[in-house]
Amino acid sequence: MSLAELESTIAAMVQKGRGILAADESAPTIAKRFASIGVVSNEESRRIWRSLLAGTEGLGEYISGLILFEESLDQRTDKQTSIPEAAWAQKIVPGIKVDKGKIPLALSPGDLITQGLDGLAERLRVYKAQGARFAKWREVYAIDKNVPSQHGIAANAEMLARYAAVCQAEGLVPIVEPEVLMDGCHDIERHAEVTEAVQQAVFQALARHNVVLELMILKPNMVLPGKECRRADPDEVARATLNVLKRCVPAAVPSINFLSGGQEPIEATANLNALNQQAPNAPWQLTISYGRALQQPALQAWQGKAENSLAAQQALLKRAHLNHLAMLGEYQADKEDN
């Protein structure tokens, strides 16, 4: 493990007022998003879209990291630079999603587990040679009457910790993503209960595997009611989320980069703003690792047409700027109309 290398990456990624753009959608997920605007998902359309994102002029002012899907590391922009190089040109650190997706956890009905540990070290060496400096691994926890089980929580925590240890051994900063889904009809108290149990297990596992907390990033869900329940206002979301974080996340972790997890773009920004207003002196940076909540307005502006590229980039830049304000606790809803 090269401490100097990992420290350099963390320093480039963890900066006040900057967050992470997740552009690492799997083939089925990006196909759904493209279908919503009438675009066929293929290697070329994905190249064009992710090149557009990485090449948005001024994005580096608000975004410090870009999570890519495996194929993007080898793809080139229209200017014939690689997508990771295009990101670096704006001081945006390129990273890579390394898990291989979720499957049912054997003999544990309702629980899920993520695949991809086999051969991970070898893959990381290839990704690093292609320009990646950090990695991301996601574990998913559904909420139901008896789910997640204690066995499921423990098994997923172990996977995240093993992944993080391999990343640090290979000189890549790990983003640890335990996502408790907001799907369902649970209330915010139930979501908080499960999120706390999950995060406690994750940090216990990270300690067992000697993961250096100062050299990792946590990407958790906010605490929210289920999609089928009433919506919670930003102050309620912030209070519930901070209560869990204070109980579970050591101060040594430098940054908590929230996933948007099905929230609408404005909702995700308002909730982040409330978090930073309620915890201006938090020991961790409270910022973003948003995918759809950053990309959706840009996708709608793009519509798969080259002549709309600039409008799409402007939409992305606006959303990134609004989230930058939320990272500082300075976002106001009326800025959406400016």
**201 with 158: CB under 8 angstroms?**
no
Judge whether 318 counts as a catalytic residue: no
Tally Cβ neighbours within 10 Å of residue 32.
11
Q: Which regions of the chain does DSSP assign to beta strands (E)?
A: 19-23, 63-68, 93-97, 102-104, 112-114, 134-141, 173-180, 217-218, 255-258, 285-290
Pairwise CA distance, residues 182 & 229, whole Å: 10
DSSP 68: E
Tally Cβ neighbours within 10 Å of residue 185.
12
Judge whether 228 counts as a catalytic residue: no
Residue 284: strand, helix, or coil: coil
**276 with 329: CB under 8 angstroms?**
yes
Q: Which of 158, 177, 179, 267 is catalytic?
A: 177
Query: What's the start-to-end Cα distance of the chain, in Å?
Result: 47
Q: Which of 97, 170, 219, 267 is catalytic?
A: 219
**196 with 148: CB under 8 angstroms?**
no
**112 with 104: CB under 8 angstroms?**
yes
Cβ neighbourhood burial of 85 (10 Å; 0-12, 13-18, 19+): middle
The torsion region of residue 94 among left (phi > 0), alpha (psi -120 to 50) and beta comes to beta
Q: Hey, which residues are catalytic here?
A: 177, 219
